[in-house]
């Protein structure tokens, strides 16, 4: 949550924005707060993705008003890798022609990101439904339903760099900051955990947790506890928990936005509706992304499927 753009603001809130990306964060580190150190980059490097009018100029006299509308985790508008609103039914398997957006007006308030060199993300990633064949696609979302297949209900894409022009690699190097956002709906606590997996090995196959398997797993608890776990796979069947959120990290029976951010220093954060629920967590084991997938474990109850409404991935320059 950024600093408010008008009205009364507090120095503590500015400090929280700089340290936790959340102006309203009530968890305070207890350290002394200095307007000078907040303003000149000593407390934290000022994010220049903000417009010059929305960030401190670093010069004396320092004024709290210079922080109006400052967003410490803002990203520049030219940072996109891909965006998908899942409009049309061409996410079904076998896929219809899906590489080109029908027009420049995307659903779910999404937009076409561009890069610093003005290349545009105007093509969709290609998603494949895996597992028991019970994954389905609606008009503007992908869905994971019940299946008894050992590979569960999955949607996967290895097309994660869809920038036109010279960007032709099917993978993304994350030496710079990278963020993935998606909207999800998870029914009440009678379903199965939702898993979002970032593949970090080009040899990862279509099955789940077999063969050459490595990457980061973000697991959303289906129980009434509603935890979120960040886990790391170093090989098939070998995972460690990096961190666990507090309970009630997200909600059932409502659409919400998850944002996963990895900084250039290897620190990870997870946000739900712009509130921090995990992080900072430090892990720099992997620097390349080769694919992503959503998965719900098999034998899902009949209470309802899990839906992903839109997704986008972008980086800071």
pLDDT tens digits along 150-182: 788 888 998 888 887 666 666 787 766 788 999
Rounded alpha-carbon distances, angstroms, from residue 276 to 47, 91, 183: 18, 31, 16
Question: What DSSP designation does 115 have?
Answer: B
Residues 136, 283, single domain; the answer is: yes
Q: How confident is the model at residue 178, as a pLDDT?
A: 87
Looking only at the bridges linking them, the beta strands covering 153-157 and 128-131 are antiparallel
Report the relative pairing of strands 194-199 and 215-220 from DSSP bridges.
antiparallel
Tell whether 19 is covered by a domain: yes
119-122 long-range contacts, CB within 8 A, separation 24+: 119/163, 119/164, 119/165, 119/166, 119/167, 120/163, 120/164, 121/80, 121/81, 121/82, 121/83, 121/162, 121/163, 121/164, 122/164
Burial 254-277 (b: 16+ CB within 10 A, else e): eeeebbbbbbeebebbbbbeebbb
Does the CA dihedral 8-12-15-20 come out positive or negative? negative
Q: How many CB atoms lie within 10 A of CB 27?
A: 9
Would you say residue 154 lies in a domain?
yes
**148 and 219, same domain (yes or no):** yes
Give the pLDDT score at 94. Answer: 46
pLDDT at 189: 62
Give the structural domain span for 162.
80-315
If asked whether residues 158 and 244 sit together in one domain, one would say yes
pLDDT tens, 93-131? Answer: 444 556 667 556 677 777 777 776 667 787 788 888 887
The answer to whether residue 29 sits within a structural domain is yes
User: CA 238 → CA 71, 152, 202, 217, 301, distances in Å?
Assistant: 37, 18, 18, 12, 27
Question: In terms of DSSP H, where are the helices of the chain?
Answer: 11-20, 35-39
Specify if 156 maps to a domain. Answer: yes
Q: What share of the chain in percent tops pLDDT 90?
A: 38
Whether residue 40 is contained in a domain is answered as: yes
The residue among 310 and 76 whose pLDDT is bigger is 310
Q: How many helices (H) and strands (E) does the chain have?
A: 2, 17
- 105 versus 207: which is more confidently predicted? 207
Pick the range with the lowest mean pLDDT from 43-57, 214-228, 288-302: 288-302
Question: For the chain, first and last CA: distance in Å?
Answer: 21
Residue 46 sits in the same domain as residue 160 = no
**Sheet with 194-199: strands ordered across:** 128-131, 153-157, 291-296, 194-199, 215-220, 228-235, 238-244
Q: Which residues lie closer than 8 Å to 201 by C-beta, 6 or more apart?
A: 212, 213, 214, 215, 290
pTM of the full structure: 0.73
Q: Are residues 105 and 178 in the same domain?
A: yes
Classify residue 2: in a domain, yes or no. no
pLDDT in tens, 74-103: 765 546 788 888 876 545 444 455 666 755
Total structural domains within the chain:
2
Q: Tell me the backbone φ, ψ of residue 65, rounded to 5 degrees.
A: -65, -20
Q: What is the mean pLDDT of the chain?
A: 83
Is residue 303 within 8 Å of residue 162, measured between CB atoms? no
Predicted confidence band at 73 (pLDDT cuts at 50, 70, 90)? confident
The predicted structure's pLDDT at residue 161? 86
Residues 35 and 141 in one domain: no
132 vs 89, residue with greater confidence:
132
For residues 200-216, one letter each, b for 16 or more C-beta atoms within 10 angstroms of the residue's C-beta and e for the rest, the string is bbeebeeebbeeebbbb
269 is a domain residue: yes
Q: Does residue 148 share a domain with residue 63?
A: no
Q: What confidence category does residue 281 fall into, taking pLDDT thresholds of 50, 70 and 90?
A: very high
């Amino acid at each position: 949550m950024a600093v408010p753009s008008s009205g009364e603001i507090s120095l503590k809130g500015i400090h929280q924005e700089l340290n936790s990306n959340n102006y309203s964060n009530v968890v305070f580190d207890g350290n002394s707060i200095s307007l000078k150190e907040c303003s000149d980059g000593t407390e934290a490097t000022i994010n220049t993705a903000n417009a010059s009018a929305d960030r401190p100029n670093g010069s004396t006299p320092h004024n709290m008003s210079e922080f109006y509308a400052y967003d410490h985790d803002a990203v520049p508008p030219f940072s996109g890798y891909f965006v998908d609103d899942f409009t049309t039914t061409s996410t079904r398997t076998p896929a219809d022609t899906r590489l080109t957006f029908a027009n420049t007006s995307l659903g779910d308030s999404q937009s076409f990101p561009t890069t610093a060199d003005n290349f545009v993300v105007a093509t969709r990633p290609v998603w494949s439904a895996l597992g028991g064949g019970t994954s389905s696609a609606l008009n503007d979302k992908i869905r994971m339903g019940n299946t008894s297949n050992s590979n569960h209900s999955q949607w996967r894409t290895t097309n994660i760099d869809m920038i036109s022009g010279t960007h032709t690699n099917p993978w993304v190097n994350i030496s710079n900051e990278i963020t993935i956002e998606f909207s999800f709906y998870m029914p009440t606590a009678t379903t199965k955990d939702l898993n979002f997996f970032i593949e970090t090995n080009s040899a990862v196959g279509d099955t789940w947790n077999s063969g050459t398997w490595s990457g980061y797993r973000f697991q959303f608890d289906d129980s009434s506890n509603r935890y979120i776990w960040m886990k790391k796979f170093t090989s098939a069947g070998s995972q460690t928990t990096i961190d666990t959120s507090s309970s009630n990290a997200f909600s059932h029976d409502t659409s919400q936005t998850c944002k996963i951010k990895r900084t250039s220093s290897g620190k990870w954060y997870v946000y739900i509706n712009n509130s921090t629920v995990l992080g900072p967590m430090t892990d720099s084991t992997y620097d390349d992304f080769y694919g992503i997938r959503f998965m719900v474990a098999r034998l899902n109850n009949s209470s309802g499927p899990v839906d992903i409404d839109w997704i986008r991935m972008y980086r800071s320059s």
